[in-house]
Amino acid sequence: MTTPLAGYLLVAALLFAIGLGGALARRNAIVVLIGIELMLNAANLNLVAFWRFGPLPEALTGMMFAIFSIAVAAAEAAVGLGLIIAVYRHAGTAELDKIDRMKG
Amino acid sequence: MSAIFYLLAVITLAGGLATVLLKQLVHCALAATVAFAGLALLFLQLDAQFAGFAQILVYIGAVAILIVFAILLTHGSHMPKDGVFSRSWALGLVIAAGVFAILGWAVLAGISAVPRQNAPPSATVRDIGEALVGRYVLPLEIVALLLTAATIGAVVVAMHEKASPR
């Protein structure tokens, strides 16, 4: 591996795959949400790595994209965990395969 | 490629793997915090100081705490009787491996096109602040609106339901 950018991209790809596997394979809604957060973070790592090694870093585009992405991910985590708490209160469980009714 | 990069990559990926594989939910949250911290250090390694410290503040300071609160409020520390993985976990594993294969192939196939090492760019907080109130002022306002809406929305969604007749 000669270029540093490829190393960062591979780490991000592996982290994305780990997060995706966690989101798809776990039963608890909270771990699924953490998996989604890991995927968002892997995308952020890609953005920052492309900013660092890209042709025009003075424009700060990738950095800004990562900062806005962090803000949006924080909002998503707050609403997602609020939803999980509401569902837990309603259904009595946070296990996703036990929540199989849409009727209240 | 420095030894620090490999060390940070191993820390981050080990934290991610432990998040997905550990059984206790609290351990998952702690492992996720390790992964977030590793990512923040990778950002610092990429000369993105502002993004790195924002990552520490937002993820380790806020999201990890939120996750721990959610675990406590949903009594997630009880171990489920029939395992922590869903019935279709093998399918999820196959999809994740396939996605990684495609992404890794794309990176390795384009390895000749990626730029070489260049001089570290200077992105001081002053530059970032001027860009935020200059070129990126509209996204900044939209994010402010989004965060306000998300705060109100999270409170409304997680508020007690009114006792409804069943």
Give me the tens of pLDDT residue by residue for chain B, a chain 166 residues long. Answer: 688 999 999 999 999 999 999 988 899 999 999 999 999 999 999 888 899 999 999 999 999 999 999 999 887 667 777 777 888 889 999 999 999 999 999 988 887 776 666 777 777 888 888 888 988 999 999 999 999 999 999 889 888 766 555 4
Residue ranges of B 47-76 with Cβ closer than 8 A to chain A: 47-48, 50-51, 54-55, 58-59, 62-63, 66-67, 69-71, 73-74, 76
Best-predicted range by mean pLDDT among A53-62, A82-91, A95-104, B89-98?
B89-98
Q: Are A16 and B97 in contact (CB under 8 A)?
A: no
A15, A26, A97: residue with CB nearest B13: A15
Residue A104 forms part of a structural domain: no
Taking only the tens place, the pLDDT of each residue in A56-68 is: 777 888 889 999 9
* Two tokens, residue A26: 């776990």
Task: Check residues A27 and B39 and name the one with the higher pLDDT.
Answer: B39
pLDDT, position A55: 81
Name the amino acid, one letter, at B8: L
A15, A34, A94: residue with CB nearest B67: A34
pLDDT, position B146: 95
| Torsion on CA atoms A28, A33, A35, A38, rounded to nearest 10 | -160
Coil, helix or strand for B34? helix
Residues B69 and B72: their CA atoms lie apart, in Å, by 5
Token pair 């432990």 is at which residue?
B18
Tell me if B59 and A5 make a contact (CB, 8 A cut-off).
no
List the beta bridge partners of residue A26: B85
pLDDT, position B164: 55
pLDDT, position B1: 65
Cβ of residue A60 closer than 8 Å to a chain B Cβ: yes
The interface predicted TM-score (ipTM) is 0.91
CA atoms within 13 A on the CB side of B93: 9
CB contacts, 8 Å: A97 with chain B? 86-87
pLDDT, position B16: 94
B86, B132, B139: residue with CB nearest A26: B86
pTM of the model: 0.90
Residue A97 forms part of a structural domain: no
Q: By residue range, what is the domain housing residue A68? A: 4-91
Residues B141 and B40: their CA atoms lie apart, in Å, by 25
A6, A57, A63: residue with CB nearest B51: A63
CB contacts, 8 Å: A13 with chain B? 100, 103-104, 107
Residue A99 forms part of a structural domain: no
CATH class of B3-108: mainly alpha
Residue A73 forms part of a structural domain: yes
Q: Are B39 and A16 in contact (CB under 8 A)?
A: no
Residue A103 forms part of a structural domain: no
Cβ of residue A78 closer than 8 Å to a chain B Cβ: yes
pLDDT, position A19: 95
Residue A29 forms part of a structural domain: yes
- How many structural domains does chain A have? 1
Q: How many angstroms away from the CA of B134 is the closest CA of chain A? A: 12
Cβ of residue A92 closer than 8 Å to a chain B Cβ: no
Coil, helix or strand for A28? strand
pLDDT, position B86: 82
pLDDT, position A92: 82
CATH number at residue A43: 1.10.287.3510
Residue A100 forms part of a structural domain: no
Residues B75 and B78: their CA atoms lie apart, in Å, by 6
Q: How many angstroms away from the CA of B158 is the closest CA of chain A? A: 5
Residue A102 forms part of a structural domain: no
